[in-house]
Structure 1
Amino acid sequence: MAAILFAGAGYAGVAPDYLGLGLGPGFHPYGHAGSEASASLDLLRAARTVAGSHGRTLEPRVFVTGFSQGGQAAMALGRVLQGGKDRYLRLGALAPISGPYDLRRAEIPAALNPKSGLDQRTSVFYLSYAITTWDRLYGLYGSPSAAFKQPYAGRMEKLFDGRGDFEQISPKLPTRVSDLLTPRYRQWLLHPSGKLARAMRDADGTCDWKPQVPVRLYGASGDEQVAYSDTRSCVRALRAHGVRPQVVDFGPKARHFTTMYVGLPGALRWFGTLK
């Protein structure tokens, strides 16, 4: 959707295929900022090659946006572009939308709090996805039963094998976070240490740098899937580096996908003022 929107406005729209999604082999390292950035950079390079084969030259400046997981990925990609990872491409502006920028201090505490305003069913899905991913990347537990209550522990490996989507997986999970996690693992999520702390550090920190381009963050205080405290945390991190990002809050009545439907056209219009 985003690539079509931007391409229709005259941009070269590039939408990355993250590892393990689409036709890619293996599992998807959900929320792993490093692989999100590398996959995005790889496709930008591929797009430049394809454009060249059609006699077109893409300008080096890249305007970056993304929604939800893509918001985190947008900040991660912006950092590697500004860091000179590619000799030709350079960062033009950043406009992430409703990203989970701070799992440790914002998203996970909200997901574990039934009074936070987050939807329990989607929190169950996101937590399950993240925990199974972290185990595959970092080896967090010897058995899923260390993290998940039965009967769900026995289902996790198959549910998150990369073949199903939310509509297929969610009905096979509990509707409440309290029915998903063992008490010990819940406490570990709230007070991470060791390998779990490393996993969260690798996911977090995408706002902990100093962009030298315009930054605008979109979100909604009424978001029921990604806590708005994530956006606030990102703003604090950027300000600590001397950056003054613009912030657009769509308000308490806006839902998660509302921020995408309104935020993407907003980012498009804003990018147009920066050309």
Structure 2
Amino acid sequence: TELATYTPEQISNLFQAFHLDFSLQPRLKVRVLALDYWTTDPFGADQAVSAALYVPDSSVGEFPLLSIQHGTIFQRDQAPSQNHLYSLEGVIGVLMAANGYLAIAPDGLGLGINESFHPYLHEAGSALPVVDGLRACRSYACGEDIPLAEDVYLVGYSEGGYVTMAAHHTIETGYGDEISVTASVPMAGPYDIRYVAETILQRATYDNPGYFGYVFTAYNTIYGWDRLSEVFLPAIASLIPDLYDGNHSGGEINDRLPHTIADVFQPQFLTDFLGSGETDIKAAMEANSVNAWAAQAPILLVHGAADTTVPYGVSPKTVADMQQAGARSIRLITVAGNHVDAALTATDSALVWISSLRP
């Protein structure tokens, strides 16, 4: 389904209107489409999912593939295929297609057209829609006689940073004969989930309590725990099924949940999790962490120094863990700002670096 077409002038004018200042300038006309394809959920079932596809309107040269992983979205109709421009991934998609990349922004499971649950911070559930999205891109390009280069780049911010790293890991360890990642730029993501959870739960307050329920709802469903009432206080546990039904925004969910951590979780859970207990939950977090593996393709991490939403410390820790595990090339760029303020600066650094690698 064709969603929109933008000329370089229209893209520049839009960016100016929103005070977006990027090092790269749009050069080509861009067509935006909604692309539907099949993927596999954490239970091995086939699921129809959707994505936004950003297509350069040019007959010159071959186009590298770029997969853009979105930040945390709670509402189905805020996913890229439904909201192709007014988001960080929409801006990246339009700008990079206008620079000659065939770019896809997958909605993921539980978002866009998919009515299942969203497997938040679950490696396979996050990565497979990216793998299958790249396949769908190639299939679309083949059908439309769009010439593709060999290069494949991955980029994403926040949850998208995690999904970028998860997809890179999954491709290199399971799909390397079919897809070869050229480079990835995970930004401000919770790569080491247990480290991030322990860092946050030691605080008195947290401004994004919606993330807690999202992770636990996903793991509770995937691992069949049935433990929401043991983890959360009764008033919170009773709210959770309705809040995460795909119809509520992050703002709504954060407004409905207390920002004081002791008002969200059962005291026994906090004691056990921050002590030596809750081994199943810790094991699940470790199994889905993507912070220590021998990556072959270069990775650039970018993170805002003042980020407390996804604690900044996870990025230097991930660089050290990845180097220890034998990653060939990984480094970190630290930019100014918190989780929100740093996003555009981080993105500009990411896109400049990706462009510098293009043959």
TM-score of the aligned structures, taking structure 2 as reference length? 0.70
Shift of 1:158: 1.1
Shift of 1:166: 0.5
1:166 maps onto 2:250 in alignment: yes
Code of the aligned partner of 1:92: T
1:1-150 matched pairs, under 5 angstroms: 1=90, 2-83=92-173, 85=175, 87-105=177-195, 107-114=196-203, 120-122=206-208, 124-142=209-227, 144-150=228-234
Larger radius of gyration: 2
Residue by residue over 1:187-221, the C-alpha shift from the partner in whole angstroms, topping out at 9 and shown as x without a partner, is 343345443133212321x1221222222110022
Report the Cα distance in structure 1 between the residues aligned to 2:284 and 2:326, rounded to whole angstroms: 27
Structure 1 residues 127 and 183, CA gap change in structure 2 (3 angstroms): same
Q: Is the 8 A contact 2:157 2:343 kept in 1?
A: yes
Match of 1:182 in 2: 266
Structure 1 residues 192 and 4, CA gap change in structure 2 (3 angstroms): farther
Code of the aligned partner of 1:4: V
Shift of 1:150: 3.1
Q: Is the 8 A contact 1:138 1:195 kept in 2?
A: no
Report the Cα distance in structure 2 between the residues aligned to 1:84 and 1:150, rounded to whole angstroms: 41
1:217 maps onto 2:307 in alignment: no
Residue by residue over 1:46-79, the C-alpha shift from the partner in whole angstroms, topping out at 9 and shown as x without a partner, is 0111111111132232111111111111111112
Q: Is the 8 A contact 2:156 2:163 kept in 1?
A: yes
Equivalent residue of 1:15, what SS? strand
Report the Cα distance in structure 2 between the residues aligned to 1:153 and 1:65, rounded to whole angstroms: 34
Shift of 1:260: 2.2
TM-score of the aligned structures, taking structure 1 as reference length? 0.90
Match of 1:152 in 2: 236
Residue segments in structure 1 that go unaligned for 5+ positions in a row: none
RMSD of aligned residue pairs (Cα, Å): 1.8
Shift of 1:121: 2.3
Query: When you count helix as a share of all residues, which structure comes out higher?
Result: 1
Shift of 1:32: 0.7
Equivalent residue of 1:207, what SS? coil
Shift of 1:257: 2.3
